[in-house]
Chain A
């Protein structure tokens, strides 16, 4: 079965600083990969996704992620964080052929200091 690991439970960065959230997955083939953001008490918003092709994926709100097969990673990055980026971030993996049924990581809570 596939699994997703987000090793950082909580990250604090200063506004304007760069951000990298780590995500590692375990799956036998190339999975579908997603990053979602969740604000407190809210549902999930898709930031970006990787299915195939270019391994550097651009998403909304200035986020990007890079799929590295050799490292089984799909880290999320943003060059300059804004205070409004404070939220919970989830990495998820879906089985190839059925991108609907997702396995989520445990999430990383991002705090932004002014």
Chain B
């Protein structure tokens, strides 16, 4: 089946720094990818929709200047958490939809810890 890979799987950064998380579709093209955030013992919250070649669409309440999303190619979307704070610590998961078909594939997730 289709594979979506996230990197890094775990990252620790200092407060005030920026950290980038990559989401790659390994064996298919994805014009649209999605970024979710999952708080401990909570459900997944959609943050934004990443569109290849255009600006991301952010959900209400998500700071676009803080969570920068870039979808540079049909197989790569990046999420950059800028000026990270401890409250940004969370599990971030991306998903990608094949250009053909309606199946969504999720990445393995990335644990971000801000100290």
Interface residues of A (CB under 8 A from B): 32, 34, 36, 41-46, 49, 51, 90, 94, 99-107
The CA of A104 and the CA of B21, in the complex, are separated in Å by 22
A100 touches B104 (CB 8 A): yes
B93 touches A44 (CB 8 A): yes
Q: How many residues of B contact A (CB 8 A)?
A: 20
Q: Is chain B's binding surface mostly helix, strand, loop or mixed?
A: strand
Note all chain A residues with C-beta closer than 8 A to B46: 101-103
Q: Determine how close the nearest CB of chain B comes to the CB of A108; give it in whole angstroms.
A: 11
Note all chain A residues with C-beta closer than 8 A to B106: 36, 43-46
A99 touches B102 (CB 8 A): yes
Note all chain A residues with C-beta closer than 8 A to B95: 44, 100, 102
- Sample 19 A-B pairs with CB under 8 A, ordered by A number: A41-B109, A41-B111, A43-B6, A43-B93, A44-B44, A44-B106, A46-B103, A46-B104, A46-B106, A90-B44, A94-B104, A99-B97, A100-B34, A100-B49, A100-B102, A101-B49, A103-B46, A104-B43, A105-B43
Note all chain A residues with C-beta closer than 8 A to B109: 41-43
Which of B32, B95, B106 has the most chain A CB atoms inside 10 A of its CB?
A: B106
Note all chain A residues with C-beta closer than 8 A to B44: 44, 90, 104
Q: List 11 additional contacts besides A43-B108, A44-B95, A100-B104; criterion CB under 8 Å.
A: A42-B108, A42-B109, A44-B93, A46-B103, A49-B103, A99-B97, A99-B104, A100-B32, A103-B46, A106-B42, A107-B42
